Amino acid sequence: MSRAKNLANFQTTITDGTTSVATSFVTNGSAKVFSKTSADGTSITKSFNVSSLVDTNTGQQTININSNMSDGDYIVQVGKHTSSVNAEWVQSTAVGSFIMYNYNGSSYVDSIMFSSVDGDLA
């Protein structure tokens, strides 16, 4: 096989030598945004495609997305690093941001939060 043909195949597929997968499946199935925040909710400790974090209030953080999503209809998964929080959720998904909340049943609390976004980039 010619070098040019190999290059063309590499650009459209990923292979392990026995099975090939179109790169569009990998791109479309990959997280477009992810973040891990500090325990006090004031900073980002690890991220991809995140421009900033706004500590809105105790237990409330706004994640600002660097490269916008195509619309506000995307999926955000959130998690926490502590067992003291009974509920965590996302609200207000916009093309360039979303808000995460931590609640322990009686009040909002800060903790390390994780998020991952699936959807289409603008």
Kindly report, residue by residue over 27-76, the tens digit of the pLDDT. Answer: 667 889 999 999 999 999 999 999 999 999 999 999 999 999 999 999 99
Q: What is the pLDDT of residue 11?
A: 53
Tokens of 20: 């090939």
Question: Is residue 79 a contact partner of residue 114, using CB atoms and an 8 Å limit?
Answer: yes
Residue 15's φ and ψ, nearest 5 degrees, are -135, 150
Give the closest residue to 68 by CA, choosing from 43, 51, 86: 51
The mean pLDDT value for 73-89 works out to: 84
Is the pLDDT at 115 greater than 90? The verdict is yes
CA distance between the termini of the chain: 37
Q: Which residues make Cβ contacts (< 8 Å) with residue 117, sequence separation at least 6?
A: 31, 32, 33, 34, 65, 69, 74, 75, 76, 98
Question: Is residue 86 a contact partner of residue 104, using CB atoms and an 8 Å limit?
Answer: yes
Is the pLDDT at 106 greater than 80? The verdict is yes
Is the pLDDT at 116 greater than 70? The verdict is yes
99 exposed, middle or buried (CB, 10 Å; 0-12, 13-18, 19+)? middle
The mean pLDDT value for 7-23 works out to: 63
Neighbours of 90 (CB within 10 A): 16
CATH architecture of 31-118: Sandwich (2.60)
Domain ranges of the chain: 1-30, 31-118
